[in-house]
Amino acid sequence: MKPFEFFKLANFTDEKGSLVPLELKNYINWTPKRVYYAFNNKDFRGGHCHKIEKELFICPRGSFKIRLHDGKNWTEQVLKGPDSAVRVDNLVWHEFTDFSKDAILLAVSSTNYNKDDYIRDFDQYLKSVNEH
């Protein structure tokens, strides 16, 4: 399985409006433990990786750029709501930039918050990921 994967979520529209259902089993193979969302975003979020935690990032509104590093290469893509998403495994560096004013970043996480699960220094990240 790839260390990250981009998705277009199903999006249904009828006379009542629009609906984006999240059948999580279609996107992740772990049990969600935490959901959080970020809004009123400034220039930059993220800039770290997790040793254990895996995440599904969704852009339900607005747009933002995500940059991912898998230990060898950078991948960059714009997520634009309401149906853009990306699954990010552990040991994948992730950064978010270029937020539109109305952007919402929704995250589904495999773990509860643990401050010790973060690697926040990119050089340390490269060293750690290349040891595995």
CATH code assigned at 84: 2.60.120.10
Summarised one tens digit per residue, pLDDT across range 89-110 is 999 999 999 999 999 999 999 9
Please report whether residue 103 resides in a domain: yes
pTM metric for this prediction: 0.95
pLDDT at 68: 98
Please report whether residue 19 resides in a domain: no
pLDDT at 131: 80
CB distance 66 to 6 below 8 Å: no
pLDDT at 2: 87
Rounded to whole angstroms, the Cα distance separating 55 from 65 reads 16
Residues of the domain holding 126: 4-10+27-131
Instruction: List CB contacts of 44: < 8 A, sequence separation 6 or more.
Output: 95, 96, 97
Please report whether residue 57 resides in a domain: yes
As for how many domains the chain has, the answer is 1
pLDDT at 130: 83
Summarised one tens digit per residue, pLDDT across range 71-88 is 999 999 999 999 999 999
Summarised one tens digit per residue, pLDDT across range 12-30 is 999 999 999 999 999 999 9
Overall average pLDDT of the 32-44 stretch:
96
Please report whether residue 72 resides in a domain: yes
Please report whether residue 22 resides in a domain: no
DSSP 3-state of 117:
helix
**Predicted confidence (pLDDT) at residue 1 exceeds the cutoff of 80:** no
pLDDT at 105: 98
